[in-house]
């Protein structure tokens, strides 16, 4: 038996299909879902979601916050922003990382600007990491 998986962002459905396992990073840490998993709702942090499809492929996506829900043998990942690894432009991701590092340096004592810069830096690092893998 397999899981029915939906990976959705506001722009589009990134994946809809069957999988053996889904691994996601919640705000409490990394968690894996397989058939028979207990019902679950969790808040997603910035991290990778890995879907081990029934065809034997591993589909990875950069996910920037959202929620994951498990009911029965269905896993739904609703992300604020999500991007499949195959769609990440490595050069653009590297430039975004450089900009985020500069913004963090300019934030100074402004806590809100520093917080926004740190969030942008985490997102950029994830995209670069996944693009290079």
The pLDDT of residue 1 is above 90: no
For residue 105, pLDDT over 80 is answered with no
Look at the chain and report how many structural domains it folds into. Answer: 2
Residue 103: predicted pLDDT: 80
Please check whether residues 113 and 50 belong to one and the same domain. Answer: no
What are the CB-based long-range contacts (under 8 Å, 24+) for 106-109? none
Q: Are residues 43 and 81 in the same domain?
A: yes
Asked if 62 and 101 sit in the same domain, the reply is: no
Q: What is the mean pLDDT of residues 103-127?
A: 80
Whether pLDDT at 104 is above 80: no
Whether residues 17 and 38 fall in one domain:
yes
The pLDDT, as a whole number, for residue 107 is: 67
Range of the domain at 125: 88-132
Whether 57 has a pLDDT exceeding 70, the answer reads yes
Q: Assess whether 24 and 82 both reside in one domain.
A: yes
69 and 50 belong to one structural domain: yes
pTM, two decimals, is 0.86
């Amino acid at each position: 038996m397999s899981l029915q998986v939906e990976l959705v962002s506001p722009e589009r459905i990134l994946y809809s299909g069957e999988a053996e396992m889904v691994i996601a990073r919640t705000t409490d840490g990394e968690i894996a879902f397989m058939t028979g998993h207990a019902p679950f709702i969790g808040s997603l942090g910035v991290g990778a979601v890995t879907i081990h499809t029934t065809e034997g492929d591993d589909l990875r996506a950069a996910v920037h916050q959202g929620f994951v829900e498990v009911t029965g043998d269905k896993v739904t990942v609703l992300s604020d922003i999500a991007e499949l690894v195959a769609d990440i432009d490595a050069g653009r991701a590297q430039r975004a990382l450089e900009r985020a590092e500069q913004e963090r340096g300019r934030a100074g004592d402004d806590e809100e600007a520093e917080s926004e810069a740190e969030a942008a830096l985490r997102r950029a690092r994830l995209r670069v990491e996944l693009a290079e893998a």
